[in-house]
Amino acid sequence: MTIDSGAQAIHSDEYADLGAVAQAVAKGMLLGARGNSGVILSRIFSGIARGLQGSRTCDLKTLCHAFELGVDEAYRAVSVPVEGTILTVYKDAVRYAAEKLSGSSSAQSYFYDFTQELKRSLDRTPELLAVLKESGVVDSGGAGFIYIAEGMRRAVEGEAFEGEEEPQAAQKAVDVSLFTEDSVLDFGYCTEFLLRLQRAKTDIDSFDFPAFIDYLNSVGESVVAFRDGSIVKAHVHTMHPGQVLEYCQNYGEFLTLKIENMTLQHNESEVENRFSAPAPKPHKRYGIVSVAAGDGIKTTFYSLGVDWVIEGGQSMNPSAEDFVRAFREINADTILVFPNNGNVILTAKQAAELYDKAEIRIIPTKTVGEGYAAISMLDTSSGDTEQIIAEQREIIESVVTGAVSKASRNATMNGVNVVLGDYISFVGDDVYADEKTANAAAVALADKLGAGDYDIMLILCGRDTADGQRQALEAELKQRFRRTEVILIDGGQPIYDYIIVFE
């Protein structure tokens, strides 16, 4: 999906040079990135794009250098780089292919070396990351990258692609009959451009980007803009694109420019952003964005005061763009974001960097339980963001989130003999019990965690658990742990029969 969003970002073949194409792909990927590997992948391409900037063509040396910048950028994207992931796999291959570079190298030989080393490095990932070894698997992000690199190699070899889909935007012809001699312009123009700030026109270092965004907002809507060095990428829906262009030319010149009458646009999501302006949302000091899967959990979050719940969770990672869209929906000075999944935190951070109409603060909740615990005790009345975040972090630390799910394979984990088809209960990567029923697994988990020492056991029931089964669990837990409050909620989440929050 991350790669797709890069491909979709190439709207025409009229880019000034190779650098601009790489830039467009990278930006598309930054916005579309999903999951940790997705974010890292988008940063790799953003590094590569930086290396190709201004290049019309590129030789192997430039490519090597660009790929190396991809390594830098990717490592910088994560605060604590973990070896044995896509990071290592990509780095190893870049370094290996660079070493093999000689006077007789060709693009073909370069990509051959590159992909070969990718595969070897991937096989080494379990040696670097214990969790992979214990589970008997290799890193999935790294494995995914091999497909991408294979694609590059085959393109260089001149191989045709089977079943290839053209990016939608390029595929469809414009239906000009949608805007006639008598039509009224009510959707305006979707205006997108890459602007190169020019030294002759402005002091690039002190260019006031927030003011630039304010201007775009004053003449249009749905503004998405970000800046990368002297390049500004912006998207705005405006009735007067001419004004926008005039304004931009005060600071630089366009690298790319696309203006489309939105009445003709085929992309329905674009038309949804119509100019018949939605009622302005009341301004708040704090807005809240949370991520969750399952109707019940979403409803719970909304009832706790969350402004926008992004659909997502385990194996359904939302994209940075999903976050940006949520941010746009909220009229608040500061937006507190609860990713509720370790694999989504990075995406949320990336989205935060791409958005500047509000202060975005990420509360790094790794589970839906942490998110629930934090949001339910959120008290923004002090107005002191640092204090609020400190309190929230403290709450997160006091929560244990366990889950019950069906085992998808046989394994020995954390000393527990896991049998395919049994129900296992676990906290993070630590398996606590393997039982024949979901309820037994839940009770075993509660026993092992000493549930009696907690004040509250909040149980989010998955969509596949029956009423009777839920009630039986509630009764058993209440009977075993008399002092602990047992609260059941219809979470409706997939995958997990129960998510149990111990507080």
Partner 1 sequence: MLVLFTDTDTDVTPEIAAKYGYRLISMPYSIDGKTVYPYVDFDKFDSHAYYDMLRSGVIPNTSALNKENYITYFEPVFAEGNDILYVHFSRAMSATFESMDQAVRELQEKYPERKFYEIDTKGISIISLNMLQEIGDMYLAGKTAEELVEWGRREADHFAVYFFADDLRFFRHSGRVSGIAGTMGTLLGIRPIIYMNEEGKMVSIGKEKGRQKAMDRLINYVVELGDNVKGHRVIIANSDTDEIVNELKNMLIEKFGKDLDIQIVDVNPTAGAHCGPNATGICFHSIHR
Q: Which residues bind partner 1 (CB under 8 A)?
A: 300, 302-305, 372-373, 375-381, 455-456, 458, 485, 487, 489, 503
- The one-letter code for the residue type at 374 is A
In DSSP notation, 213-256 reads: HHHHHHHEEEEEEEEETTEEEEEEEES-HHHHHHHHTTTEEEEE
**Of residues 113 and 307, the one with the C-beta less far from partner 1:** 307
Smallest CA-to-CA distance from 85 within 21, 144, 30, 134 is with 144
Q: Which is nearer to partner 1, 165 or 455 (CB)?
A: 455
| Least Å from the CB of residue 293 to partner 1 | 18
Nearer residue to partner 1 within complex by CB, 373 or 427: 373
Structure token digits, residue 39 = 């974010």
Beta bridge partners of 253: 196
State how far Cα 211 lies from the chain centre. 27
Quickly tell me which residue has 């003709």 as its tokens: 264
Residue 277 Cα distances to 10, 220, 273, 281, 318, angstroms: 29, 11, 8, 11, 26
Nearest to partner 1 of 186, 384 (CB atom): 384
* CB closer to partner 1 out of 156 and 456: 456
Residues in Cβ contact with 69 at an 8 Å cutoff, skipping those fewer than 6 apart: 47, 48, 50, 51
The residue (of 41 and 378) whose beta carbon lies closer to partner 1 is 378
Q: How far is the CB of 383 from partner 1 (least distance, A)?
A: 13
With respect to partner 1, which residue has the nearer C-beta, 179 or 302? 302
Cα separation, 448 vs 465, in Å, equals 22
**Please, what is the minimum distance in Å from the beta carbon of residue 370 to partner 1?**
13
Query: Which of 396, 479, 498 shows the shortest CA–CA distance to 438?
Result: 498
110 membership: H or E segment, kind and range: helix 107-128
Distances from the Cα of 402 to the Cαs of 442, 450, 498, in angstroms? 9, 12, 8
Please state the closest distance from residue 376 (CB atom) to partner 1, in A.
Answer: 5
Parallel, antiparallel, or unpaired for β 359-362 and 332-338? parallel
> Around 352, how many Cα atoms within 13 Å sit in the side-chain half-sphere?
20
Nearest approach, Cβ of 358 to partner 1 (angstroms)?
A: 18
CB closer to partner 1, 131 vs 456: 456
Pairing of β 423-427 and β 416-418: unpaired
Closer residue to partner 1 in complex, CB, 263/300: 300
Which tokens sit at 351? 């989205």
Angle of helix 60-77 relative to helix 35-52, nearest 10 degrees, comes to 140
CB 484 to partner 1: min, Å: 9
